[in-house]
Amino acid sequence: MNRYAFSIITKNKDGKRVFGSTMYPKIPFRNGDRFIYPIEGDRLETVAKRYYGDTTLWWIIAKANEIRDGTYALDPAKQIRVPRNINSILSDFERINS
């Protein structure tokens, strides 16, 4: 799933493409959510690949854990939540961005 699929693309005054804001759904706690400690060197996309089979779904884990900058390695001493019901999350994402 391309998280930019629903983003509005405009051009700035110099004619360069600019992505508009993408809205993300709230991700409430649900029974069955996993709580894990990242492996040394893990980043959001490696965790998404491990649990969802898709690196592009890293934003779900970021949003669930209120992580604003996913460009750094996760702290292996800090537990994170990995939501399980991604179909519901993706449906909410599509609904608010359509």
Render pLDDT for 48-70 as a digit per residue (tens, 0 to 9).
999 999 999 999 999 999 998 87
Tell me the pLDDT tens digit for each residue of 23-43: 777 898 999 999 999 999 999
pLDDT at res. 53: 96
pTM, 2 dp: 0.77
In the numeric block, which tokens belong to residue 57?
A: 């779904």
Buried-exposed string 49-82: b where 16+ CB fall within 10 A, e elsewhere: eebbeeeebbbbbbbbbeeeebeeebeeeeebeb
Task: With cut-offs at 50, 70 and 90, classify the pLDDT of residue 4.
Answer: low
